[in-house]
Amino acid sequence: MLAQLDPQRFPRHIAVIMDGNGRWAQKRHLPRVAGHKAGVRTAREIIETCARLKIPALTLYAFSVENWRRPQAEVDFLMRLLREYLRKELPVIHRNNIRLVVIGRPEQLPAAVRKDIEGAMQHTEANTGMKLIVALNYGGRAELVDAFNALLAHARDGESNGGGRWQADEQAISDHLYTAGLPDPDLLIRTSGEMRVSNFLLWQIAYAEIYVTETLWPDFDRKALFGALLEFQKRERRYGGLSAAHARS
């Protein structure tokens, strides 16, 4: 399957909604936490594979602003799992020249989690390989609210972005998103078959190719990723225009 892929047509940025941990565990009559542990193993495999393929950016939707509504025991476990992952995987991430970036509202996370995140980002900030963006305490609407408030602050302070009255445009909004400086995702992968974007990168996925698979996240392995990339390379990206065939007709 890898031999069928064209490295020249890999996406610059892959975003993943990692869904299905709970259902994976339920199908096996296991507690939900077992599904989350299995999901971490999948994340490790997908991160390493994308780095080897030299994908410039990979964003994983790890914890949403809505996830605080889950039972407190599950939330606490997810926070511990995150800290454990950072401690165990940071040497591997660093060795693979991956730079870790966290987006969302991490300031609202527990202090111990924030400390580990900040240390991991500082440890990898000079790395020049793939950017691994982890969305933590993230919501697409929250991101837009934060961006617009920053834009309003510029306008209130009387700053100019063109020699006259300050105005917002698409570039100004992009520059104030959590993902400023990153290319928008070319490919959005959602596991578990749910047909929704779940408040994820609402601005950035405007022209992303969306790939939905029934595979639950803990079962989404390297082969499944290659399948998503093959499907991506079959599509003709139009960005609102006509295909080459329609343009000639």
Give catalytic residues, as residue numbers.
Answer: 19, 67
- Closest of 52, 56, 87, 66 to residue 19, by C-alpha: 66
**CA end-to-end distance (rounded Å), the chain:** 34
CA–CA dist 137, 63 (Å, integer)? 5
Could you count the other beta carbons within 10 Å of the beta carbon of residue 238?
Answer: 12
- Closest of 2, 41, 99 to residue 218, by C-alpha: 41
Handedness of CA 73, 37, 209, 138 (dihedral sign): positive
Could you tell me if 40 and 81 are in contact, meaning their C-beta atoms sit under 8 angstroms apart? Answer: yes
CA–CA dist 137, 145 (Å, integer)? 14
Structure tokens at 88: 């165990």
Structure tokens at 141: 């609407």
The C-alpha angle with vertex 176 and arms to 175 and 182, in degrees rounded to 5, equals 50
